[in-house]
Each structure stands twice: as structure tokens, then as C-alpha cells.
Amino acid sequence: MRRVRLVLSALLALVACPALAEIAPETRWSGPSKVSMDVVFPGDGYHATWDLYRCDCGDLLVHSELSESGNVEKGETLLVEGRAILYRGFPRHEAEYGASLDAPALMMQLAAQLLERLEPGGPSKVSGQVEREVTERKQHILLDTGTAVGTFQAPWKAAGMLAPGEDDQRRFDIRFDFSVVTGLGAQQASMRLKGKADYANAEFPVPATEPLERWNLAWRDSEDPAKEQAADLENLQQLRKLLSTKN
């Protein structure tokens, strides 16, 4: 009977502590297939929730929920071949929020850079919950999306929790302290970045057969040579094909 109890205890331990899926050691924090992140900005209570999906084809999809002073804007933005921007939602600020990926892209870059400093070994090194902290007095944080840039001047500080999630996920909760130069001089500020990154090959939510009529279309370059022909296309697959051949 004692032996049976020991076997049952071992089985229960295995159920309670499932094995972690293995992430390749060369994987960097900037390489997930999906990221879900909440960002609380300093000042007037602006809060953003973003879900970013990376397609094997190179496209990026962002689900956005933006909240300020009780007003909430929701929408989706899809960057196709790095050139065309499909967007929908954002009922009150469609053109401002929908036609640009700059805000979520800058914040995703910031999170990746902070995670690299908190755990330089990458996500594969996080096998249990850990608390990390880093203070930088000389090196600035430089962000660049190709259409927007951002800088956080040193000194700055990041402190956060890193932990495994389900399967190939890694969770993070980071407080980022930095300074902002105003007319009154340097002012201290902070923001919180909390979320999870999935390093498995997640399925892209938008199928290639997605009708373009369900989206608004904008261009990163207003003089893009594919702009005129795109007006006659019916679905996402056709748009990808056009952009891959029309330079």
C-alpha cells in the first residue's frame, strides 16, 4: 500500500508540474510568433492592450484596445509585405490609430530590449519564476520602426518578473523608470509593461482568402507603385502577390 501511495504521489507531482516545451537556445526575446501586452503609460492614465501576430510570410497583425479617460478604441491593423496597411475598427480615431503600427511596434521593441537586459540569455533561460533588475546610467534605448523613432535617455531602470507560461510562452511584468525632459527640466516617469510572448509557431489569424472589402487600405509610401493596381484586388493573397512582384 505504501508503494502505491508513493507512485500516486509521483504521478500527481508530474501533473502539477508539467514539462516545459523547449525553446531553442538561440531564440531572442524579439522573435515570438505572438505577443500579448498591456502598457500603462505615465500621466493621464492612458492604457493600451496589444496582441501582435507574426506571419511566416512576414506580415504583422495587431489587435489594439486603447483606453483614455474612460473612452475605449478597438481595432485591427495588418501590415502586408511591409508596404500596405489594412485596418478596421477604431470608430472615433480610425485614420490616426488604424493606419499606423508605430505605437505598438515601438512598445514591442521597448519590451524586447528591456527583456534582453533583464535576461541576456533569452527566453530559453527562463525555467522558473525569477525577479530581475537592471540600472543603466550611460546607454540610451533607441527604437526605430522605419517610420517612427523613439529614445529613452539614460539613466533608466527596469525591474520585473519573468516566468514560464503554457507550452512555449514566457510571461513578463516590467516596471520601467525613466526621465522625460520638459520645460521644467528632467521629470521622472514610469510605465508598466505586462504580458506574455509565445515562441511556438502560432497560426496566423487572418487567412489568405480574407476579402479586402472588409478592411480600409493605406500605404506606408503614398507613392507606392502598386497603389493603383491594388484597387482592383479582392483578397489578401492577391495583395501579397502584387506587392511581392511590383516594386
Q: Is residue 91 part of a domain?
A: yes
Q: Is residue 93 part of a domain?
A: yes
Q: Is residue 149 part of a domain?
A: yes
pLDDT(11) > 50: no
Q: How many other C-beta atoms lie within 10 A of the C-beta of residue 12?
A: 10
Q: Is residue 152 part of a domain?
A: yes
Q: Is residue 98 part of a domain?
A: yes
CB 156 within 8 A of CB 141: yes
Q: What is the DSSP letter of 124?
A: G
Domain count, the chain: 1
- Residues of the domain holding 94: 22-198
pLDDT band at 52 (very low <50, low <70, confident <90, very high): very high
**In this predicted model, what pLDDT tens digit does every residue of 124-161 receive, in sequence order?**
999 999 999 999 999 999 999 888 899 999 999 999 99
For the sheet containing 71-80, what is the strand order?
Answer: 130-136, 156-164, 169-182, 185-198, 34-40, 47-54, 60-68, 71-80, 84-89, 216-219
Q: Is residue 230 part of a domain?
A: no
Q: Is residue 243 part of a domain?
A: no
**In this predicted model, what pLDDT tens digit does every residue of 195-218 receive, in sequence order?**
999 999 888 999 999 999 999 999
Question: According to the model, what pLDDT value does residue 201 have?
Answer: 86
Report pTM: 0.85
Q: Is residue 234 part of a domain?
A: no
Distance (Å, whole) CA 86 – CA 60: 10
